[in-house]
Structure 1
């Protein structure tokens, strides 16, 4: 390993320790309430349908996975 890799591992270990001490919130940071969460989920799922193959590949999905996610009801995670 080179010095840069050692630094990354050290930093990641510190971040993991901090995350373990920090209580986890199940609600996303952007949601003011449940309806905002539902609206954001509906909006982002619809946007999946508009992405081209290159954009889908960038986020690690294929067309069938994007379609499956986009067709889920907004209340399902």
Structure 2
């Protein structure tokens, strides 16, 4: 490899790390803040059940496959 390839690889690696951190932060902040434990459970139950009712077009809009939505929708409300 030449020096330019090494620089490109290291920059791409940094970009991937930033994207992963951003995705993790987004996933951890999906519930409204200030919810108590039971309110959080209720929120998870409703939103997960709503995922099961989305059409293929709606799933495409949110970037989920049918399998991903089903897996999330069938999780118990007490699991993250």
By the TM > 0.5 criterion, same fold? yes
Write out the 4+ residue segments of structure 1 that deviate beyond 4 Å after TM superposition. Answer: none
Residue correspondences, number = 50
Higher fraction of helix: 2
User: What pairs with 1:38-77 in structure 2 (closer than 5 Å)?
Assistant: 38-77=41-80
Alignment match, 1:37? 40
1:30 is displaced (CA, Å) by: 4.7
| 1:19-66 residue CA offsets vs partner (Å, 9 max, x unmatched) | xxxxxxxx84151x1000000000000000110001001111010000
